[in-house]
Amino acid sequence: MKPHQPFAKHYHCIIVVSSVLTFYLKGNVAFFPPRTQRCLLLQKCRTGMTKDNLPSIKEPSTTKTGLKYHYFRSTLTVDSLERCSNPAVLFCNGFRSSMTGTKAIFLEEHCKSKDLSYCRFDYRGHGLSSPETFLEMTLSDWICDAETILLDVLLKDHSQVMLVGSSMGAWIATHLALRYPDKIAGIVGIAPAVDFTQKVLYEKATDEQKNDWLSKGIAYFPSKYESNPYPITWRFIQDGKEKWQLLDNATLSNKIPNGCPVHLLHGQCDIDIPWMTSLELAERLSTSNVMLTLIKDGDHRLSRPQDMQQMSAALDGLLQRIKTS
């Protein structure tokens, strides 16, 4: 990681509210180099839905590729034959999380209270989307899954979508924004786990785990979130490094060509993904419309009531900025 320049060079306003520290990032718009290599599976996953196939709130719906999802439709879309101009909200889960998680459910209730269309879903290998296939999946597959929901569910009713990504989901959301700059209205990133396959899993792996990758193709990592260790395949590590790295990708010429507004939230007590990852991501995004909120006593999950209030406030703030821009 390159040393950071003094804060005064990059930030024109610092606001401290209780234990929350928010940076307003000032940057220069960079040129748009060629995009990162796209997942070869994306074209295969574009399947359609019709307006007659209205998703259920009580029971999960299923895409033609087998993805399970919940979709709350704004009243502005149900009786309209035109796509709604208000952005919908898509929640992208973290690694080994599901659409029934605390943040996903909280955000749904928040969006329903504001009559915003909202979708949460399970990547393949997670939750209700064929969890037994987890070891077969890589980041390419999960980016493909998020794109399927974006194109075949939300963009059928809406012109734009706001992405809320938690941990790995924020990494995925950033790639969606790079590929659909006219369709993504903004991103709320919660403890972004950008490049975590290399920066966290590989670089912190023990010699024994690295030997297991070489000899068995799989290594196991202890987890404080599950009783059993996480199974991590070498294919997953390679896929993340070769196709999807952002912060160490030399082809981006030190800037990630993202044009939509972004609000990042990160706990300074996060022992899984260092909060400096969010700072580096904020610096590397080419858009000048970036905010970074540091929650001094927050952990990685940021699932306490006060953390989720920060998340919903960040979403509301981005929506308001879009309306007034």
Instruction: Identify whether residues 138 and 177 lie together within a single domain.
Output: yes
Q: Say how many domains are in the chain.
A: 2
Q: CA–CA separation, 227 vs 225, rounded Å?
A: 7
- CB neighbours of residue 83 within 10 Å: 14
Q: Residue 289 contacts by C-beta under 8 Å, 6 or more apart in sequence?
A: 260, 261, 262, 321
pLDDT (0 to 100) of residue 24: 53
Residue 250 maps to a domain: no
Residue 91 maps to a domain: yes
Instruction: Identify whether residues 120 and 152 lie together within a single domain.
Output: yes
Residue 232 maps to a domain: yes
Residue 51 maps to a domain: yes
The residue from 140, 167, 278, 286 that is catalytic is 167
Residue 2 maps to a domain: no
Instruction: Identify whether residues 156 and 305 lie together within a single domain.
Output: yes
Q: Is 70 a catalytic residue?
A: no
Instruction: Identify whether residues 227 and 314 lie together within a single domain.
Output: no
Instruction: Identify whether residues 240 and 279 lie together within a single domain.
Output: no
Instruction: Identify whether residues 84 and 176 lie together within a single domain.
Output: yes
Instruction: Identify whether residues 188 and 226 lie together within a single domain.
Output: no
Instruction: Identify whether residues 218 and 236 lie together within a single domain.
Output: yes
Residue 249 maps to a domain: no
Residue 4 maps to a domain: no
Residue recorded with tokens 């999380």: 97
Instruction: Identify whether residues 226 and 103 lie together within a single domain.
Output: no
For the chain, the farthest-separated pair of C-alpha atoms sits apart, in whole angstroms, at 59
Comparing C-alpha atoms, which of 110, 102, 141 is closest to residue 239? Answer: 141
Enter the DSSP assignment of 272: S
Boundary residue ending a domain (210, 244, 278): 244
- CB neighbours of residue 251 within 10 Å: 10
Instruction: Identify whether residues 101 and 218 lie together within a single domain.
Output: no
pLDDT tens for residues 56-97? 334 689 887 889 999 999 887 655 545 667 899 999 999 999
pLDDT (0 to 100) of residue 44: 30
The residue from 158, 175, 263, 300 that is catalytic is 300
Distances 38 to 20, 53, 115, 153, 250 between C-alpha atoms, Å: 36, 30, 34, 21, 16
- The list of the chain residues with pLDDT below 50 reads 1-18, 25-58, 81, 250
The residue from 152, 270, 272, 307 that is catalytic is 270
- Give the structural domain span for 152: 9-195+259-324
Both tokens of 265, joined, read 């939230």
Q: CA–CA separation, 229 vs 225, rounded Å?
A: 9
Q: Is 158 a catalytic residue?
A: no
CB 322 within 8 A of CB 64: no
- Which CATH number fits the domain that encloses residue 91? 3.40.50.1820
Residue 252 maps to a domain: no
Instruction: Identify whether residues 75 and 211 lie together within a single domain.
Output: no
Q: Is 19 a catalytic residue?
A: no
Distances 305 to 88, 114, 223 between C-alpha atoms, Å: 23, 19, 23
Instruction: Identify whether residues 67 and 214 lie together within a single domain.
Output: no
